[in-house]
Structure 1
């Protein structure tokens, strides 16, 4: 018997292997399709895509603002009117040439009284609004007050009302530390300046 292979036999073997390869590829494609597109992904979506995904419709955090406590609706509306007044008053402290009257203190008392109950609301925008209102009065206002006192005392170190101004500054410092802002860098800088001005 001869071991020599005929050209026709080689062609037949090659065609047979090609048919087998095509069959295997077809089977693999069928398996991938059956697994579905989600299983075919090799990596999860990037974090920014996950963060941008919309909240479920029943989460309560989309659409119009909702309030658990009906009275908080009135408080929220009152804050929308009060906050611009406080913002303007705080901004004016930066250019003031004398200590203002006690109107800002009274307004902030109203703001905090209205904003504090909003912490119990479900809607994050409502809670954030309340937190921002409280920060305006408990952080930005006393910080601006200290800045004004320091500026006044630097301009006239021997002001007759120096002791009274330093007393107001001390109350502002107490408010900041009571509200846990003592480690804030801006607060530290202003406290150091106030200490030097009130020596």
Structure 2
């Protein structure tokens, strides 16, 4: 099971690294900028999670995460060179997959190390959104998590599904898959049908 978790974690890192690479391509960054943006997108949320849990940061003693980042960035660069196109939806879809992977892995790790269910949901959400937030800030974009379209809320929904599965004694991998699918499809649906939380209108006046 530990090996399976590790491969899922590597998949999440790779997907978020692709998201960071796509953003770097959009912003016309050089090779160093591509690697930096891919890395902070891929490991930023997990790094913050481990620091809050007072654990060794997951990538410090395991270089496989950096191999995953470099491989994902290289594959994305080659694909972009061949296609010569940058459909924005690819960036958003890659981000949605990374969000789902990281949310559940962060939640599961927090529970493993004794966090309460509420704190685990918060740390799972943080793991999923923080890397993308750093990416967007570095690129001078309004972070996706701060826009009206559902983003962090989908992580909370996935976390609740995980805890419900756990409460009914479902196997860990079943709870993880269900939570990932909930987060992923909720995010994709929000993108397609523009689901969002209420936002301040431009004409709102503050007294």
- The TM-score, its normalising length taken from structure 2, stands at 0.28
Q: Highest relative contact order (Cα 8 Å, sep 6+), 1 or 2?
A: 2
Q: Which has the larger radius of gyration?
A: 1
- The TM-score, its normalising length taken from structure 1, stands at 0.29
